[in-house]
Each structure stands twice: as C-alpha cells, then as structure tokens.
Chains A and B, each alone.
Chain A
C-alpha cells in the first residue's frame, strides 16, 4: 500500500528519484532547485538510497558528470534552475546526441538580468533545441509521477528527459502527495544495465569527432529517437495508469465542450486558468483551457485534436523571443496549426515574467481578448500586466 504525505514539489521529485534507485546524483545548489538535491543528500547519508552523490563545482560539471556516468550504463539524476541550466547549455546537446538517458529536474526560474530567482519559463525555453524530451508538471503529485515516468521514457528512448516544475509555485508548495510503494516503482522501472555502453570489458569510444561525412547521420539518430519517443511517452503513461491509477496524457483539455475560445498554457498556471474559465462559464462565456504536459516532442496531433472546432486560441507565453516573430510557445502552436483546415485564430500573450503573478483579472483579460480574436481575428501579442 502506498501512503499519503504532505511534501513540497521539490521533495516529491526527490522521493521519485530515491524510488527510481538511481546510481549517481550530481549535485550543485541553485535556488529554487536546491531542496531537491538537499533531500537526496539526506537519503544517501541515511542509507535510504545507495547512490554515489557527487558534489561538483558547477552545473557545467554536474551535467558533464551525468553524461559520463550515464555512458557507463548507470541511472543518473541532477537538478537545476535558470542560470544553472544556461551554464549546462553546450553539454545538453551532447547528452542527447550521445544518447544518454539522464533525468534532470529543472525548477523553472527567470534568467538574469536583472537577477531574479522567481518563476517563469525562459530557462527551459532557451534550451528547447537541445534534443531533450521536455515534460511540464503542474503540482507536487505530478512532479512525483512525471519524474518516475521520466526514467522509463529516458531509458526506453535513450534520450535525456527534463522534468520542468514551476519555481516556488510548485517547487516549494506543500501539497498532499500519494506515494506508491517503493517496490511497485522498482517494478515499473527496474534497474538494468544498458547495452552498448562503455565498460572495461570492451573497446568502445564515445564522443568522437564527427567529420562532415558523419556528423549529419549522427545528429539525425537523435532526431529520429525523439520522434519515436512520442509513442513511448504514450505507452509509458498508459502503463503508469494501469499500475498507479493516474494518467496525464500529452495535452489536457478542460471545459472545452462547445467552447469558442481557449487559452493554451504550460505549467502551474493551468489551475488559475481553469478557475477563471469556470467563473466565465457561469457568466455564459464559452471558454476552455488547454495545458501541454509534453513540449518536446511537441504533441502536434494531440493539440490539433484539442482545438478542433475552436474559433480562437490564446497562447500564454512565460518566456520571450525578443525580436522574433512570436514567442516560444506561440511559435510552436502557430506552426503546429498552420496547415490545419479551419484553424483557429491565434492570439499571443506574454505574462508572468520573473515571477509576476498572473491574477484572475489578467486571465479574464486574456480570455476576453481570445474571444475577441474569435470574432475579429487575432491582434498583436499582448504583454499582460506590464506597467506603462
């Protein structure tokens, strides 16, 4: 039997990592991630988790250590935020191209400057082309469940997985979390040595030069792998459901029956968006909300299905692409829907940068601008909550 505990989103991740029985953890502190590796150090020190705990001198080293350890077939974990993720940048591409199934929690935090420890999505969005699978959670329970799934997705796809949770809003919020039996988790993700890895038993070189004759093919392997991970993500979520009675899907649509307009969000603001949609429904407005749990690989078909029959969508970006056409999430969605027959109007919003609260009034404004887009077509991107 499992148990119900009151823990933070960060602790939920740490519990999942412990139950995944990792072999190695590379730890470097950064707010708001720190309590994940702090809790893991406790587990290791108490003898509850038999893993090598590496204190490294930077995030660049943390992810490098993970790549090396993963190449030996070990199950590895690290966690970071913001500047830490940015410092990992060059190694992130190696982790995916070398096909290392690393699981990393990224506790989303704004990028400097100005220095800001609060939540937005600019850190993960800046790494969206690194070839990592990106999962986004909305609660402590999801942080636990998704981290467990992440190990299986990573190992079956042979790709690194980034589990994103909103800094403070999810990471430091204490919530009731159902923890399954450790044995059940171990059955779901049994530790197994990965083949084709470096060992003392066979000559094996990795990280070699890929001259023009080879680079393209090597790179394509990782592209093919992330495409194939679509099926695995679905299957693993289904298997998780049959074992633990919970399933999240790639895209979650809420209150979409007969809706004309819908907001598309990622991360913890799904809760507020639903709350406001409920109030608006009571006022007779036909609005709903769609949340993406998977950002890489981008769930094109699932998104198209979710927006079928909708006249307009409003995309809430919590990161920007300065000087670009739109912003990261908007651009993905606009591209995914471009050749869809009767595609909805797409209204872009930027909100909640650097931890700025997105209040109910802000959501009301975004819903009403999206309804307006349904009638008159979309306007330019709106910077919601920005003081003039």
Chain B
C-alpha cells in the first residue's frame, strides 16, 4: 500500500475542534521525516518468522506477493523495534543519508 499524502487542510476545512471524522485516517499520514535511520532487510537471512511484522508499532512491515517482508518507508518512523526483534539478525538499521 502506498501512502497517499494529503494536502494539508486550512483551518476552515479542518473539522471543528480538530476532530477526526473518518476511521483509519493514519494511512494518509507520512512519517518519513521522523526517521533518522531505516531498516534494511537481508532477504537471504530472513526466515519469514514474521516477528518484525508483529512488533512494528506502525504496521510499516508488509508482505509482498512473493511472501517476502518489506518495509513501507512512508509509515516507518525508524524506531528499530523490528531489528531488535529479529532473531536471525536479518534487519539492519542504516542511518538515513548514508
């Protein structure tokens, strides 16, 4: 799933009191700018145990058609929980901009 970045609404368009009136609106929120490092999965080491998928607090780990685990960087804030929880150490946190 690709994060569809919404245009930021002006104060007149935001629902009164900043209420969120639709469910699941966090899919429209891109957190790329929060991240200082991102997870890189070594598919050769990955055993597809799915721990990263379960641990990720932002559901940024997705499974592609081939059954491989991928990181959707639009939702990854770079916390590194996936790398910590990865038993075969297949996930490396790599500094952004390197």
Residues of A within 8 A of B (CB): 97-100, 158, 196, 202-206, 208, 210, 213-214, 216-218, 220-221, 224
CB distance from A223 to the nearest CB of B (A): 9
List, in ascending order, chain B residues with CB within 8 A of A99's CB: 16-17
Residues of B within 8 A of A196 (CB): 15-16, 19, 21
B18 and A97 within 8 A (CB): yes
Q: B23 in the interface, Cβ–Cβ < 8 Å?
A: yes
Of A100, A158, A217, which one neighbours B14 at CB under 8 angstroms? Answer: A217
Among B5-13, B36-44, B61-69, the stretch that binds chain A is B5-13
A contact residues around B8 at 8 Å (CB): 213-214
Query: With A217-B9, A217-B10 known to touch, is A210 a contact of B18 (CB < 8 Å)?
Result: yes
B17 touches A205 (CB 8 A): no
Flag if A204 contacts B14 (CB, 8 Å).
no
Q: Which residue of A lies closest to B34 (CB)?
A: A211
Cβ of B15: which chain A residues have Cβ within 8 Å of it? 196
Residue numbers of B with Cβ under 8 A of A are 8-11, 14-23
Which of B17, B21, B23 makes the CB contact (< 8 A) with A218? B17
Contact A203 B11 (CB under 8 A): no
Cβ of A221 and Cβ of B11 under 8 Å apart? yes
CB distance from A91 to the nearest CB of B (A): 14
Q: Cβ of A218 and Cβ of B22 under 8 Å apart?
A: no
B19:A205 contact, CB within 8 angstroms: yes
- Tell me how far the C-beta of B50 lies from the nearest C-beta in chain A, rounded to whole angstroms: 29
Question: Once bound together, how far apart are the Cα atoms of A295 and B15, in whole Å?
Answer: 28
In angstroms, how far is the closest chain B Cβ from the Cβ of A296?
Answer: 18
Q: Shortest distance in angstroms between B75's beta carbon and chain A's nearest beta carbon? A: 15
A221 to B12 alpha-carbon distance, docked (Å): 7
**Bound: A148/B70 CA distance, A:** 60
When chains A and B are docked, how far (Å) is the Cα of A257 from the Cα of B66? 88
The answer for the CA separation of A317 and B20 in the assembled complex, in Å, is 42
CA distance in complex: A216, B15 (Å): 14
Query: What are the residues of chain B within 8 A of A204 when measuring CB–CB?
Result: 19-21
* Chain A interface main SS type: loop
* A contact residues around B19 at 8 Å (CB): 196, 204-206, 208
Complex Cα distance A217/B10, Å?
A: 7
Whether B22 contacts A98 by the Cβ 8 Å rule is: no
Complex Cα spacing A220 to B10, Å: 10
Measured in the bound complex, the distance between the Cα atoms of B17 and A385 in whole Å is 45
Report chain A residues within 8 Å CB of B17: 97-100, 158, 206, 218, 221
CB-CB under 8 A from A202, the residues of chain B are 21
User: Are A221 and B18 closer than 8 Å at their CB atoms?
Assistant: yes
In the complex, chain B residues whose CB is within 8 Å of the CB of A97: 17-18
Pick from B9, B11, B20: contact of A205, CB under 8 Å? B20
Alpha-carbon distance between A100 and B19 when the two chains are bound, in angstroms: 12
CA distance A231 to B88 in the complex (A): 67
What's the nearest-Cβ distance from chain A to residue B85, in Å?
25
CB distance from A222 to the nearest CB of B (A): 8
Report 26 cross-chain contacts, Cβ distance below 8 Å, ordered by A residue: A98-B17, A98-B18, A99-B17, A158-B16, A196-B15, A196-B21, A202-B21, A203-B21, A203-B22, A204-B19, A205-B19, A206-B17, A206-B18, A206-B20, A208-B18, A208-B19, A210-B18, A213-B8, A217-B9, A217-B10, A217-B14, A218-B11, A218-B18, A220-B11, A221-B17, A224-B11
Q: Is the CB of B14 within 8 A of A221?
A: yes
**Considering the chains assembled together, what is the distance between the CA atoms of A196 and B22 in angstroms?**
12
Cα distance, A214 to B29, chains bound together (Å)? 12
Bound: A213/B29 CA distance, A: 11
Candidates A100, A206, A208, A217; contact of B11 at CB < 8 Å: A217
What's the Cα separation between A98 and B9 when bound, in Å?
Answer: 18
Contact yes or no, A214 B18, CB < 8 A: yes
A211 CB to nearest chain B CB (Å): 9
Q: How far is the CA of A115 from the CA of B10 in the complex (A)?
A: 47
Among residues of A, the one whose C-beta sits closest to the C-beta of B25 is: A205
Question: Considering the chains assembled together, what is the distance between the CA atoms of A311 and B56 in angstroms?
Answer: 70
Give A217 to B13 CA distance when docked, in angstroms. 9
Which residues of chain B come closer than 8 Å to A205, judged between CB atoms?
19-20
